[in-house]
Amino acid sequence: MGVHDWTRVDDGLFHAFHLGWIIELCRALNAGTLPPSYFAMAEQSIRGPIPDVLTLRLSSVKDQPSGASTAVAVATAPPRARVVSTFEGSVYARKADRVTIRHRHGQIVAVIEIVSPGNKGSNTEFRAFVEKVSNLIQQGVHVLVIDLFPPTKRDPQGIHNAIWNEVADEDYSPPDNQPLTVAAYSAGAIRTAYVEPFGVGDELPVMPLFLEPELYVPVALEETYRTSWGAFPAALKGLLESSEETFP
């Protein structure tokens, strides 16, 4: 099916779709993608702005291999991405930044963020989003960022460039014909970004969601996107499937 051009409709319609997609991602993760000691929850409050999907590990589960059958070791099957960047920060910086974030149901190990127009709506909101993601990475929380919107004046080289500048002070520019981005961040001692650019009409890739620096599960973004689209109101689908520019 491929990704729709969400710039054609107002923010409220994307927000409605975005909520359904969050639920489908949680369902897919909890239906066997995650190992038994992990689970995903939607929009739980942690320090800073609220993330879309949390991956948690039960604090009470001890002595159970974190790499149960559903998780994949990086050494065995490295995640595939067209752009892979690494950064090893200073030892002292890691000690200062490594703050364990906990939830009453377990320890947070990963976050999925779906970028919304509001995240880029003002300098304040944009900086809050970028700082939230970069802070999570610096604190050892793995992050998967999904951005279905093209670069704006606030992120002229895309959302990944803004985030990676905070983490590693390195530049990235998306291809001209593939301005949208998904990026998976492994928040280990050597921080690693797995980046896949794509465009409107392209299918979403399968991306790694890290549970540990060397352990991840594959997230079927296209499959969950399709399921969410299937449940989207038919009257609203027409606004995105029409060949004419339409803003409700």
Q: In this predicted model, what pLDDT tens digit does every residue of 173-197 receive, in sequence order?
A: 888 889 999 999 999 888 999 999 9
Which tens digit of pLDDT belongs to each residue from 123-159? 988 999 999 999 999 888 999 999 999 999 999 999 9
What total number of domains does the chain contain?
Answer: 1
Order of strands, edge to edge, in the sheet holding 72-73? 72-73, 215-220, 206-212
Predicted TM-score (pTM) of the model is 0.75
Most confident of 47-51, 92-96, 97-101, 199-203: 199-203
Domain for residue 196, yes or no? yes
Domain for residue 176, yes or no? yes
Question: Is residue 225 very low, low, confident or very high in pLDDT (cuts 50, 70, 90)?
Answer: very high
Domain for residue 244, yes or no? no
Which tens digit of pLDDT belongs to each residue from 77-135? 666 665 565 544 433 233 322 223 233 456 788 888 899 888 888 898 899 999 999 99
Domain for residue 1, yes or no? no
Domain for residue 242, yes or no? no
Quick one: which of 162, 173, 111 has its CA closest to 139? 111
Task: Please give the structure tokens belonging to residue 97.
Answer: 């930044």
What pLDDT shows up at residue 2?
87
Quick one: which of 85, 71, 5, 116 has its CA closest to 218? 71
Domain for residue 10, yes or no? yes
Domain for residue 241, yes or no? no
Report the C-alpha gap between 137 and 114 in whole angstroms: 16
What pLDDT shows up at residue 201?
93
Largest separation between any pair of C-alpha atoms in the chain: 57
Higher pLDDT, 56 or 10: 10
Q: Is the pLDDT of residue 67 over 90?
A: no
Could you list the residue range(s) of the whole structural domain that residue 103 is in?
6-233
Q: Which residues pair with 53 in a beta bridge?
A: 42, 112
CA-angle at 169, arms to 163 and 170, nearest 5°: 85
Question: Is residue 1 very low, low, confident or very high in pLDDT (cuts 50, 70, 90)?
Answer: confident
The answer to whether 207 touches 201, Cβ cutoff 8 Å, is no
Domain for residue 246, yes or no? no
